[in-house]
């Protein structure tokens, strides 16, 4: 069972609960609910000195005796984690060992990113993914909502290259992809289910690169998949897109992309700062991909109140993030990316042996590490990028690449 319980003091005997035995508090949390042997107690005043802030947000206490078990937690999310821990142990063993225990996550962010911009994943798949993440105590699902394929040999014409934007809105008729996009009702279903399972959605609308969907919709905004940042109406349009869709998003954070732009370093910095400020004006904390080293050499002049995905040591490495004071998430491309059926980035799935033996959320490629649980390191996130837009594969085949290491990553992110 992953993740395992962090602290446990064994007692005498075992508890063999009746099937489905949870108190009515379980009904409010979307868990099986029949009066019985397992009691769930929500206590906002509950603290644990060792667990600290992580316990206060998602931790729980366990108390198991021969005549019953109690899960106590300061938050509903903690109660869900505790109840799942007991239910998973029961599913495997049929009984619970007596004792006292406590658990909490080692990191705030324990995530997974899915590129739905290049390849549409059905609402049913997304909902199933949310449920599975909740079972493993993974708590953030980042949905990369727009992107495009590559030109042939990276130099050919953009005609015929796939481009996708996956949200439907009457304000922008024709922007949503004809081969699949999510309606407001479908997005609401994601948010509802995520809340039930202790998962937060991190929507990502990417620019100023990976923007072919936008330049096709408004050709005056740029060329190919790069926005023309010299035109004020370009940034104004992107702000309008965010204005339209942010009311859909219930979580506290929003990702505005900002990766792999290859033009106008100074204009890129202006765009980065403008979009970070705009996201905050809409009531969300901004996130972005780390690009500072490749774009301008360093992070001088960039907005610091942004969480950065440190995805490439060449574009912006974690040691630079620590130096510059950015909060960051380990999304290391060499270790945590899957590109299905490509010839790079783990096309057949991540390296389970390496993850088991050597990887932790503070470990990056090329032997680079930061201090475990560094206060600026928020956590980690693996990712699926569907670069091969011309390839013929299904969402089920993608899951078969992800599933073998999903629980390994969950355990490492939780237990740290």
Indicate the Cα dihedral angle 72, 77, 80, 84, nearest 10°: -110
3-state SS, residue 135: helix
Let me know how long the chain is: 416
**φ and ψ of 287, to 5 deg:** -125, 155
The rounded distance, in Å, linking the Cα atoms of 383 and 131 is 17
Kindly name the residue from 58, 140, 253, 260 that is annotated as catalytic: 260
DSSP letters spanning 233-263:
HHHHHHHHHHHHHGGG--SSEEEEE--S--S
Separation in Å, CA 188 to CA 17, 194, 247, 250: 36, 10, 11, 9
Whether 266 is a known active-site residue: answer: no
In the block, tokens 């010299």 appear at 230
How deeply is 202 buried, as exposed, middle or buried, from its count of CB atoms within 10 A (0-12, 13-18, 19+)? buried
Cβ(347)–Cβ(338) under 8 Å?
yes
What is the per-residue DSSP string for 193-206? HHHHTT-EEEEEEE
Cis-peptide into 208, omega within 30 deg: yes
Q: Collapsing DSSP states into helix, strand and coil, what is residue 357? A: helix
Per the rule left: phi > 0, alpha: psi between -120 and 50, beta: everything else, 368 is beta
Coil, strand or helix: which one is 283?
Answer: coil
Closest CA to 395 of 148, 167, 115: 115
Asked whether the beta carbons of 162 and 148 are under 8 A apart, the reply is: yes
> Which are the catalytic amino acids?
260
């Amino acid at each position: 069972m992953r993740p395992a319980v962090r602290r446990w003091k064994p007692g005498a005997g075992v508890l063999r609960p009746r099937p489905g035995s949870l108190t009515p508090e379980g009904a409010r949390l979307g868990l099986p609910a029949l009066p019985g042997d397992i009691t769930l107690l929500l206590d906002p005043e509950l603290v644990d000195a060792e667990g600290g802030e992580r316990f206060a947000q998602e931790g729980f206490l366990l108390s198991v005796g021969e005549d019953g078990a109690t899960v106590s937690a300061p938050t509903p999310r903690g109660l869900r984690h505790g109840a799942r821990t007991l239910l998973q142990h029961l599913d495997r063993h049929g009984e619970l060992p007596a004792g006292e225990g406590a658990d909490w996550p080692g990191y705030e962010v324990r995530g997974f990113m899915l590129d739905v911009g290049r390849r549409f994943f059905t609402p049913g798949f997304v909902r199933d993914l949310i449920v599975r993440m909740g079972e493993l105590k993974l708590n953030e699902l980042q949905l990369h909502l727009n992107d495009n394929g590559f030109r042939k040999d990276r130099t050919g014409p953009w005609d015929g290259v796939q481009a996708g934007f996956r949200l439907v809105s009457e304000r922008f008729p024709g922007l949503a992809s004809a081969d699949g996009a999510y309606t407001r009702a479908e997005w609401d279903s994601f948010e509802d289910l995520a809340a039930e399972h202790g998962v937060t959605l991190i929507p990502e609308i990417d620019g100023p690169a990976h923007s072919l969907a936008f330049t096709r919709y408004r050709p005056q905004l740029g060329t190919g998949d790069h926005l023309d940042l010299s035109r004020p109406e370009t940034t104004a349009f992107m702000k309008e897109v965010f204005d339209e869709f942010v009311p859909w998003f219930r979580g506290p954070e929003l990702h505005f992309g900002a990766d792999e732009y290859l033009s106008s370093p100074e204009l890129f910095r202006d765009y980065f700062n403008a979009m970070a400020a705009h996201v905050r004006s809409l009531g969300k904390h901004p996130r972005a991909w780390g690009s500072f080293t490749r774009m301008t050499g360093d992070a001088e002049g960039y907005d610091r109140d942004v969480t950065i995905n440190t995805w490439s040591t060449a574009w912006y490495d974690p040691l630079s993030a620590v130096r510059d004071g950015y909060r960051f998430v380990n999304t290391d491309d060499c270790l945590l990316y899957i590109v299905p059926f490509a010839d790079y980035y783990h096309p057949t799935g991540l390296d389970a042996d390496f993850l088991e033996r050597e990887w932790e959320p503070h470990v990056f490629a090329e032997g680079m590490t930061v201090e475990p649980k560094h206060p600026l390191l928020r956590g980690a996130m693996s990712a699926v990028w569907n670069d091969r837009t011309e390839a013929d594969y299904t969402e089920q085949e993608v899951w078969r690449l992800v599933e073998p290491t999903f629980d390994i990553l969950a355990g490492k992110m939780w237990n740290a």
